[in-house]
C-alpha cells in the first residue's frame, strides 16, 4: 500500500511525542470548536414509524393534493386519480387529437400483423392477439397515466406465457389450454392490481436493468429462432425453446422438411422489413416507413399467395381467423381444480414480467417529456386492464417497446392514440379478418424477427461492460440462461444475480483510509487522491455504509485489519506508532443493535492495543443511537467531532491543520 506522509508533519509529530506524554495534549490543545455534533430534535415513536412507513410506501405523497379540499372537490380528485382521463381530458383539444389520430393509425397498422404473429408465440389462435389489442388499450386509456405507451400483446410475454402454459398442458388444441391462458391472464391482472393497491410497486425494482437487458436479448434470440419454423416451412419442429434443440430440429429437417417457396417469400419480406428498419434508423423522420412496412408485407404477401395459390405448394398460411368482436370468457376462468395453482403461478410470473416491461417503457418516455408517472397507480391500471381482458378473451397485454416508440415519434399527445388504435382494431375484427386467410406464416415469422431485433440492445451491453462488470455478468447470465435453457430459467438467473448483488452490497461494504489534502482541511481516500497525506500517530478510516447486522462484524474486523497492516508498515518505516483511530462516520446513515455491539467489541480490542477511538461526523440517527446505547459515554463525548479536521486538530500533532 502506498503511504504518503508530509515530511514536516512527521517531524513535528516525532517532536511532539518525544516532548511529553500524549495525555497532556488533551488539556491544552483542545481548540474551541464552533460547532459540536448535535442530536436531531427528538421524535416520538409514532412519528418515527409514521415517517418510515410513509417513505417506504407513500414516498410519492399521493394524498397531498386532497388536503384542505371540500368534499365534492375530494370526490372529483378521487375519480380523477383512478381515471386520469378525466383530468387530462379537460384540456383536450383538436390540435392534440390530430397528433393522437395519426399516431393511433400508425400503431394500429403496426400492431395488426404483430398481434396475429404474437398470438402464435403463445400457441393461441390469431384472433386472440387482435382481441387483446382491442380491449386492453381501451381500458388503459381511461386509467393509465402514461401518455406515450402503446398497449397490446408483446413478444416476450407471449413467448413466456406460451412456454409456461405448454409446461402444464402440452397439447394446445386442448380447450383447457385456452382456459388456462385466460386464468393466467386473470391472475396476472390480480397480481398487478394487488401490487399497486398494496403500494408494493418497488418490488419490481429488484429486477436490475442489467438483468432485464440480458433477459430481453435472450428472449429476442429465442423468439427469432422459433421463427425458423415458419420461415423455413419446417413441419416437425421441437417444442423446446433452447438453441440446441431448435438448431437440431432445423438441421434434421434440412433434406425433406424445408420448403423453398416458403423460404423465398419469408426471406424476401424479411429483407424488405430490415431495409425499412435501417432507413428509419438512419433518418428519424422516415420512421413511418418501418412502422407501416409490416402491414405492406401482409397485404402484398396475402395477395401474392391468393393469386398464385402458393398454399397448394406447401406454403403454410393462416387459414382461418374468426370474424367478430371478443366473445365473453367469464365462464372460462378456472377457479378450482388441478389447474388453479398452475394458473396462479403462471399469472404471477407473467404479470410481473409484463409489469417490468410496462413500467420501464413508461418511465423512459415520462423522463423524455418530464412528466411524472405514479408507479403504483400505473400498476392498478395495468392490472384492471388484464383483469377485464381475461373476461373478454384477451391474454396478457402490456406496453410494447417498439410500438410505444412509434407512438411517440408519430407525435402522440395523450392516451387517445390507444383509443384510436382500439377502434381500428374493432373495425378490423368486424370487417376484414377473413382477408387474412391467405397470409403466409412465413411473413408473420419475418415480421416477428424484424420486431424482436430491436430488443437486442448491443449498445446497452457495451455500456454495461464499460461501467460495471458485475452488471455485465448479470446480463450475460440472464441472456445465456434464456437461450440455452428456457425463458423461466433465464428469468430465475436474472432474479438470483440481482439479489446476490444486493446481498453483496450489504455484507461487504467498502472502507477507505483517508489522508489530508495538502493546503486544505479536506480528508479524502488516499487511493483516489495520492497527494492526500496520512497524519502521524493517527489512522483515519471512513466506513462507507450503514452498519447493520449483515455487515457489522465485517466492518469491525476490517477496521482492525487496516490498523494491524498500518502498524506493521509504520513500525517498519520508523513512523510514530498509531495512538488514535479516527472513524469518519459521514456515510454511516444508520446503525442497528448489532452495529452498536460491534463498536463495543471494537472499543475492547482497541483498548488492548492502547489505541483511542475518535469519531467524526456521525449523522442524526447514529448520534441518537450512540446516545441511547450509552456508547457516547463509553467513547467519551469529547472524542466525537463534527469533522475529521476537528479531531485531527484536537488530538493530532501540533500545527497539522496550518
Map grid coordinates 518505516 to a residue: 573
Q: CB 646 → its own copies: shortest distance, Å?
A: 9
Q: CB 29 → its own copies: shortest distance, Å?
A: 19
CA distance 495 to 598: 32
Q: Which residues contact 78 (CB under 8 A, 6 or more apart)?
A: 66
Nearer to its own copies, 478 or 596 (CB): 596
Q: Cell digits for 33? A: 470548536
Q: Which residues contact 640 (CB under 8 A, 6 or more apart)?
A: 37, 614, 615, 616, 618, 626, 632
Nearer to its own copies, 35 or 285 (CB): 35
Q: CB 194 → its own copies: shortest distance, Å?
A: 18
CA distance 474 to 431: 47
Nearer to its own copies, 138 or 210 (CB): 210
- Could you count the other beta carbons within 10 Å of the beta carbon of residue 250? 19
Q: CB 630 → its own copies: shortest distance, Å?
A: 9
Cβ contact 384:143 at 8 Å: yes
Nearer to its own copies, 45 or 572 (CB): 45
The H or E element containing residue 524 is: strand 523-525
Q: Which residues contact 108 (CB under 8 A, 6 or more apart)?
A: 420, 421, 424, 425, 428
Q: CB 525 → its own copies: shortest distance, Å?
A: 6
CA distance 338 to 183: 12
Nearer to its own copies, 27 or 45 (CB): 45
Q: CB 460 → its own copies: shortest distance, Å?
A: 8
Q: Cell digits for 229? A: 419454423
Q: How far apart are the first and last CA of the chain?
A: 27
Q: CB 134 → its own copies: shortest distance, Å?
A: 32
Nearer to its own copies, 9 or 212 (CB): 212
Q: CB 528 → its own copies: shortest distance, Å?
A: 4
Nearer to its own copies, 110 or 635 (CB): 635
Helical segments of 172-259, H only = 175-197, 209-226, 228-232, 243-252
Map grid coordinates 457516547 to a residue: 632
The whole-angstrom distance between residue 584's C-alpha and the CA centroid of its chain comes to 33
Q: CB 467 → its own copies: shortest distance, Å?
A: 5
Q: Cell digits for 537? A: 500517530
Cβ contact 623:641 at 8 Å: no
Burial of 630 per CB tally in 10 Å (0-12, 13-18, 19+): exposed
> b/e for 93-114, b at 16 or more Cβ within 10 A?
eeebbebbbbbbbbbbbbbbbb
Nearer to its own copies, 322 or 524 (CB): 524
Nearer to its own copies, 426 or 560 (CB): 560
Nearer to its own copies, 171 or 370 (CB): 370
Mark residue 41 as left, alpha or beta (left: phi above 0; alpha: psi -120 to 50; beta: remaining).
beta
The H or E element containing residue 99 is: helix 94-121
Mark residue 495 as left, alpha or beta (left: phi above 0; alpha: psi -120 to 50; beta: remaining).
alpha
Nearer to its own copies, 435 or 642 (CB): 642
Q: Cell digits for 306? A: 391468393
Q: CB 163 → its own copies: shortest distance, Å?
A: 25
Q: CB 32 → its own copies: shortest distance, Å?
A: 12
Q: CB 529 → its own copies: shortest distance, Å?
A: 5
Nearer to its own copies, 152 or 362 (CB): 362
Amino acid at each position: 500500500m502506498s503511504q504518503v506522509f508530509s515530511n514536516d508533519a512527521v517531524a513535528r509529530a516525532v517532536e511532539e511525542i518525544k516532548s511529553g506524554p500524549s495525555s497532556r495534549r488533551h488539556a491544552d490543545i483542545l481548540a474551541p470548536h464552533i460547532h459540536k455534533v448535535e442530536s436531531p430534535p427528538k421524535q416520538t415513536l409514532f412519528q418515527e414509524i409514521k415517517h418510515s412507513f410513509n417513505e417506504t410506501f407513500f414516498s410519492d405523497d399521493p394524498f397531498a393534493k386532497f388536503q384542505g379540499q371540500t368534499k365534492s372537490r375530494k370526490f372529483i380528485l378521487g375519480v380523477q386519480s383512478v381515471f386520469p382521463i378525466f383530468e387530462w381530458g379537460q384540456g383536450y383539444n383538436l390540435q392534440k387529437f390530430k397528433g393522437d389520430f395519426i399516431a393511433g393509425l400508425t400503431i394500429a397498422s403496426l400492431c395488426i400483423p404483430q398481434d396475429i404473429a404474437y398470438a402464435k408465440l403463445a400457441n393461441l389462435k390469431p384472433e386472440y392477439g387482435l382481441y387483446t389489442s382491442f380491449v386492453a388499450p381501451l381500458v388503459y386509456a381511461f386509467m393509465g397515466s402514461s401518455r406515450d405507451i402503446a398497449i397490446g400483446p408483446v413478444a416476450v410475454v407471449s413467448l413466456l406465457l406460451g412456454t409456461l402454459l405448454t409446461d402444464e398442458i402440452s397439447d394446445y388444441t386442448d380447450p383447457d389450454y385456452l382456459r388456462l391462458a385466460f386464468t393466467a391472464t386473470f391472475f396476472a391482472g390480480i397480481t398487478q392490481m394487488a401490487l399497486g393497491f398494496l403500494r408494493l410497486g418497488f418490488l419490481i425494482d429488484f429486477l436490475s436493468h442489467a438483468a432485464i437487458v440480458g433477459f430481453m436479448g435472450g428472449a429476442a434470440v429465442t423468439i427469432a429462432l422459433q421463427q425458423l419454423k415458419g420461415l423455413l416451412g419446417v413441419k416437425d419442429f421441437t417444442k423446446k425453446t433452447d438453441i440446441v434443440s431448435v438448431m437440431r430440429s432445423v438441421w434434421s429437417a434440412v433434406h425433406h422438411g424445408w420448403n423453398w417457396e416458403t423460404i423465398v417469400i419469408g426471406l424476401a419480406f424479411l429483407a424488405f422489413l430490415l431495409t425499412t428498419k435501417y432507413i428509419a434508423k438512419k433518418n428519424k423522420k422516415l420512421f413511418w416507413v418501418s412502422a407501416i412496412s409490416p402491414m405492406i408485407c401482409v397485404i402484398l404477401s396475402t395477395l401474392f399467395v391468393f393469386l398464385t395459390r402458393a398454399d397448394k405448394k406447401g406454403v403454410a398460411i393462416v387459414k382461418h381467423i374468426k370474424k367478430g368482436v371478443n366473445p365473453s370468457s367469464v365462464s372460462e376462468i378456472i377457479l378450482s381444480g388441478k389447474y388453479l395453482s398452475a394458473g396462479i403461478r403462471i399469472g404471477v410470473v407473467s404479470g410481473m414480467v409484463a409489469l417490468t416491461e410496462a413500467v420501464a417503457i413508461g418511465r423512459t418516455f415520462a423522463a423524455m417529456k418530464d412528466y411524472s408517472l405514479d408507479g403504483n397507480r400505473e400498476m392498478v391500471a395495468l392490472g384492471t386492464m388484464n383483469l377485464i381482458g381475461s373476461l373478454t378473451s384477451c391474454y396478457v397485454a402490456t406496453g410494447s417497446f417498439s410500438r410505444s416508440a412509434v407512438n411517440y415519434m408519430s407525435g402522440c399527445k395523450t392516451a387517445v392514440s390507444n383509443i384510436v388504435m382500439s377502434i381500428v382494431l374493432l373495425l378490423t375484427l368486424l370487417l376484414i379478418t377473413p382477408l387474412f386467410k391467405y397470409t403466409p406464416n412465413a411473413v408473420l415469422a419475418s415480421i416477428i424477427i424484424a420486431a424482436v431485433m430491436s430488443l437486442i440492445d448491443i449498445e446497452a451491453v457495451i455500456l454495461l461492460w464499460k461501467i460495471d462488470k458485475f452488471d455485465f455478468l448479470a446480463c450475460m447470465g440472464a441472456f445465456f440462461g434464456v437461450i440455452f435453457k428456457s425463458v423461466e430459467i433465464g428469468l430465475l438467473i436474472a432474479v438470483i444475480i440481482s439479489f446476490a448483488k444486493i446481498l453483496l452490497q450489504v455484507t461487504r461494504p467498502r472502507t477507505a483510509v483517508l489522508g489530508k489534502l495538502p493546503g486544505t482541511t479536506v480528508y479524502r481516500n488516499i487511493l483516489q487522491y495520492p497527494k492526500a497525506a496520512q497524519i502521524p500517530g493517527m489512522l483515519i478510516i471512513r466506513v462507507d455504509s450503514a452498519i447493520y447486522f449483515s455487515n457489522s462484524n465485517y466492518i469491525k474486523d476490517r477496521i482492525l485489519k487496516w490498523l494491524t497492516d498500518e502498524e506493521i508498515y509504520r513500525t517498519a518505516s520508523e513512523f510514530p506508532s498509531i495512538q488514535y483511530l479516527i472513524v469518519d462516520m459521514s456515510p454511516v446513515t444508520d446503525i442497528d443493535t448489532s452495529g452498536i455491539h460491534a463498536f463495543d467489541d471494537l472499543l475492547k480490542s482497541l483498548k488492548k492495543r492502547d489505541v483511542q477511538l475518535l469519531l467524526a461526523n456521525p449523522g442524526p440517527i447514529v448520534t441518537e443511537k450512540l446516545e441511547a446505547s450509552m456508547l457516547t459515554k463509553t467513547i467519551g463525548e469529547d472524542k466525537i467531532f463534527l469533522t475529521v479536521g476537528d479531531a485531527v486538530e484536537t488530538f493530532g500533532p501540533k500545527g497539522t491543520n496550518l
